[in-house]
């Protein structure tokens, strides 16, 4: 079964290449069905040699083969991040079937976190399928827990909506987005209702760490500074799922 691990690592940069297109186009409402097709600088149609994930960027020194214009580091970074997700899963996972669930979850969370970081948005087109994927993974890997995980999805959504509504009443502005509620619903579907407090705890600690780093980096933080919570939630779900963190305190 070592093939599973190898395949995941080989596939990862190609998935990353697709995620890069997704991250760029979803927030702009552009179709994602086609990949990158032309050099953004000289308009030359890209061929297979230009589109080898990771490899093209390294081989051509991060420049267009024709016009030598620097190619954004972005696609290379996403491909590298997707590979990191796969390598992390391979390092942590003993079960070859669960490995694929790890990768699907990790890659989807990567796209969500990246988009939220840049646009303060968690697109439904990613969060809602992630709820279904979580229930699907549960049905295959631990069918006895399906009801518990379905309850987790509902509880995650309602808990965030309730906190959001309370925050709105207290402060008179939005604190948590609907996207965050749907992502927590996905978390419930993946790890079950009993693990949700752990997801919330890890996410909160991640947010505090990020805010601390932000301040150290010299950026002003006030009570109204917007910090995207999606990446914190995504990281928390990844950790709780991958390491099967204790279901309760
Ligand atoms: Zn060019």
pLDDT of 249 over the 60 cut: no
Q: How far is the centre of ligand 1, averaged over its atoms, from the C-alpha of 247 (Å)?
A: 52
How far apart (Å, rounded) are the C-alpha atoms in residues 176 and 161? 8
- E-assigned strands of the chain? none
CA of 60 to the centre of ligand 1 (A): 12
pLDDT bucket at 176, cuts 50 / 70 / 90: confident
> Are residues 208 and 153 in contact, defined by beta-carbon separation less than 8 angstroms?
no
pLDDT at 1 (0 to 100): 60
Q: Report the percentage of the chain scoring pLDDT > 90.
A: 68
Q: What are the sequence ranges of the domains in the chain?
A: 1-92, 95-249
Q: Give distance in angstroms: CA of 65 to centre of ligand 1.
A: 7
Distance (Å, whole) CA 240 – CA 201: 10
Cα(44) to ligand 1 centroid in Å equals: 6
The alpha carbon of 46 and the centre of ligand 1 are apart by a number of angstroms equal to 9
Residue labelled with tokens 């990281």: 235
Strand, helix or coil at 63? strand
- 3-class DSSP state for residue 2? helix
Angle between helices 96-119 and 2-25 in degrees, nearest 10: 20
Q: Which of the 8 DSSP states describes residue 69?
A: P
Separation of 38 CA from ligand 1 center, angstroms? 8
Can you list the alpha helix ranges (DSSP code H) found in 120-195? 124-141, 146-171, 178-191
Q: Which residue has the tokens 């995650």?
A: 156
Per residue in 121-173, pLDDT (tens digit) is 999 999 999 999 999 999 999 999 999 999 999 999 999 888 888 878 887 77
CA of 62 to the centre of ligand 1 (A): 11
């Amino acid at each position: 079964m070592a093939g599973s691990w190898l395949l995941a690592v080989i596939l990862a940069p190609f998935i990353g290449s697709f995620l890069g297109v997704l991250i760029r186009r979803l927030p702009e409402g552009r179709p994602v069905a086609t990949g990158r097709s032309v050099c953004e600088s000289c308009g030359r149609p890209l061929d297979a040699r230009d589109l080898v994930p990771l490899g093209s960027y390294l081989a051509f020194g991060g420049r267009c083969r024709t016009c030598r214009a620097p190619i954004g580091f972005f696609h290379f970074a996403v491909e590298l991040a997707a590979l990191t997700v796969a390598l992390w899963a391979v390092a942590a996972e003993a079960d070859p079937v669960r490995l694929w669930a790890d990768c699907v979850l990790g890659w989807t969370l990567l796209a969500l976190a990246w988009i939220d970081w840049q646009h303060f948005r968690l697109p439904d087109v990613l969060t809602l399928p992630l709820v279904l994927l979580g229930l699907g993974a549960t049905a295959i890997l631990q069918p006895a827990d399906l009801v518990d995980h379905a309850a987790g999805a509902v509880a995650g959504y309602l808990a965030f909506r309730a906190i959001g509504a309370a925050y709105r009443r207290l402060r008179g502005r939005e604190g948590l987005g609907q996207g965050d509620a749907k992502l927590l619903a996905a978390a419930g579907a993946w790890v079950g209702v009993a693990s949700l407090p752990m997801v919330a705890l890890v996410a909160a600690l991640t947010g505090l760490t990020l805010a601390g780093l932000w301040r150290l980096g010299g950026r002003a933080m006030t009570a109204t500074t917007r910090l995207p919570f999606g990446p914190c939630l995504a990281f928390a779900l990844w950790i709780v799922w991958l390491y099967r963190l204790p279901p309760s305190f």
